[in-house]
Structure 1
Amino acid sequence: MAFNAPSRPLSRRHVLAWSALAASGLARGPAAAQTAWPSQPIKLVVPFAAGGGGDALGRLLADGLRPVFNQPIVVENKPGASTIIASEYVARAAPDGHTILLNNQALLLNAFLNDTLPYKPLDDFAPVAEMVKAQLWMGVSTARTDATTVAELIAHMKRDPQMRFYASASKGSLGHLMGFNLAETAGLSLEHVLYKGATPAATDLGAGQIPMAILDLAGIKPMVDAGKVRLIAVSGAARSKAMPQVPTFGESGYPGFTTYSWAGLFMPAKTPPQVVKRVADETMKVLAQPSVVEKLFAMGYDPGTLTEARFAELGRNDSAQLGALIKRSGLK
């Protein structure tokens, strides 16, 4: 779950500006700095459709923050255009602390996938907090292959051209990029099949329409439970506690696949730093509640741990690593 910049590579000037903004809040909001906050309902803008995983995260957080801030927290769903619609809305919102964006790595990756973004990701947003993080899982269709390891899958792909297809949640998603990286590492040419969301991708994987997909656990687990998908590898430096029997890519002979997906909170860039800090601090308290941890785990997520400057650093690191991958892949 980020992160935006023009549609060009991230310059050193942008990186430094974002870091400074997150760490010290050089740009200050106007009247909000002198008045009590919050003084009105807070909008939590979610760039995903109602009823999906992103929407569920937003509503879970809103329920936790509402009694703390003593103001209504309204979840506004603004799906479309790979999260650009919602991101632009928040970028243009008044920096008074009453508009928050919940987004994922798409906020950063869109900078490399679009030549004309209507906002500057590293200039127009203040990173607040990492809300959740999740490892990504490689699953294979049990109807298409008997492979139980990455090595076996690669061997099957090499001898059968009909196996050289894979899916992810969307174009430019982390799963899409990991698939490209796997193909590059294994010396294969794999074709990415475009889907709009993890659920339809997982459904077709379970039906045998595609042989392999890289998705988060929330999206792929129903097909695993139904016996239609077999998990053979997971991203990250260590195995997941959710399914410890599944080895990491590193254990499978493919080191370097340690990136995880995440979702986090952002506010307009000139939001007063004391407001950004308050939202970050209270978000961490909500994420530490046992009932919230349990709900997140059931959704396939671990609670986030990073706020402000450290969250900004995560974004910069992901931007550098994944941005380079996007450029190598030729994605647009």
Structure 2
Amino acid sequence: MKIYKFSIAIAMLCAPIIAQASTYPNKQVNIVVPFTPGGVTDAMTRGLADKLQEKLGEPVLVVNKPGAGTVIATNYVARSKPDGYTLLMAASALSIAPHLYKSTVTYNPEKDFSPITLVAAVPHLLVIDSRISAKTVSEFITYLEKNPNQATYASSGNGTSNHLEGELFASLSDIEMTHVPYKGSVPGLTSLASGDVSMMFVDVAAAKPFLDSGKVRALAVTTAKRSKQMPALPTVSESGLPKFDAMPWLGIVAAAGTPKEVVEKLTEALKEISVDPAITAQFSSMGLDPVFNSPEEFSTFIRDENNKWAGVINKANIVVE
């Protein structure tokens, strides 16, 4: 009898969740962006929100919660009600921040979220000072081996994705390199163009003016596959470092425990949006590659990213507090 009563109690508790899932959405959906308004992620999310609103039939608004290297927004969504009405436009930092900001991160990237789908890849380029004669990654590694004083790379700050990409490059090429952090990509690129450093990993949009000027040269893209933005450019992995794979990304997650029916509805809507010509054109203009995968694939991807960057950060002993 006690077991029977307990089962009824559980059923009564679950009933509202099941009912809400079956009618989802019936009110406003918020997508939390961990960056300030006006940036690429914010603009991309607003375009996506407009399309998602058309699919869901309810308002979809963007809420900006910047700060602490995306930690404020990510902690917020991890603690939100798991009903699909509070989503996070997660960035690569989801799997990086826990290993950098250990005193402020309260979420576990693998346990505290229900992955929906990847949304965009943010291809980074390996760019070098154009006065260096190397035309390929292999030639550049040989150059650094012969000129160890030139083994320097710029980043847009400690703990950023291009900092970690530099550490991954140094580890895989077995070259001791000096990291020179700047306050943003443009100052780093300016320093590279002036010959103060030898290389930098940076997004296509930021690099383009410097590439057009001829002051820096792109050798490869960081992603496992060639980028739609620069399809003629080889990947780092096919150009001398076969284990190199670094894809800055953006994707949508909800709080862990979000009903399966809600996750499926969001996934299906975003799958259709990912091939919408207006969205693909917008992404291309921002230097982004549209990406779509299933919640299961995204979950595996987050786990792999977590393990990879934990290894890089721990090996390089990088701490940002």
Give the TM-score taking structure 2 as reference length: 0.85
Aligned partner of residue 271 in structure 1, secondary structure:
coil
Aligned to 2:68: 81
Q: How does 1:33-72 map to 2 (within 5 A)?
A: 33-35=18-20, 36-72=23-59
Partner of residue 306, structure 2? 319
In the TM superposition, residue 127 of structure 1 has moved relative to its aligned partner by 0.7
Q: How many residues align?
A: 304
Structure 2 letter corresponding to 1:233? A
Q: Does 2:61 match 1:101?
A: no
- Partner of residue 140, structure 1: 128
Aligned partners of 2:161 and 2:248 also within 8 Å: yes
Quote the Cα distance in structure 2 between the aligned partners of 1:288 and 1:147: 38
Q: Distance in 1 between matches of 2:60 and 2:163?
A: 34
Q: Secondary structure at the match of 2:272?
A: helix
CA RMSD after TM alignment: 2.4
2:140 matched to 1:153?
A: yes
After TM superposition, the structure 1 stretch with the greater mean CA deviation from structure 2, 132-141 or 192-201, is 192-201
Q: Does 2:218 correspond to 1:231? A: yes
Secondary structure of the equivalent of 1:137? strand
- What residue number does 2:7 align with? none
Aligned match of 2:201: 214
SS across alignment from 2:235: coil
CA shift, 1:92, in A, is 1.8
Q: Which moved more, 1:154-163 or 1:53-62?
A: 154-163
Deviations 1:219-267 (A, max 9, x none): 3223212323210122234433432332222332221113322210011
Aligned to 1:14: none
Q: Contact 2:118–2:249 (CA<8 Å) still a contact in 1?
A: yes
The runs of 5 or more residues in structure 2 that have no matched partner are 1-12
Provide the residue aligned with 2:245 in structure 1: 258
| Alignment correspondent of 1:302 | 289
Shift of residue 64, structure 1, vs aligned partner: 0.9
CA gap of 1:251–1:93, structure 2 versus 1, over 3 A, is closer
Partner SS for 2:179: strand
Gaps (5+ residues) in structure 1? 1-27
Residues 172-216 of structure 1: CA deviation (Å, up to 9, x unaligned): 344322311222233322122224543443344345443311122
> Quick one: structure 1 residues 267 and 249, their matched pair in 2 at CA, closer, same or farther if it must change by over 3 Å?
same
1:136-180: CA deviation from partner (whole Å, max 9, x where unpaired): 2101133x5343222343344345455222123443344322311
Which of 83, 97, 107 aligns to 1:119? It is 107
Greater shift, 265-274 or 166-175, is seen at 166-175
Aligned residues: percent identity?
A: 35
Query: 2:60 & 2:213 partners in 1: Cα distance?
Result: 37
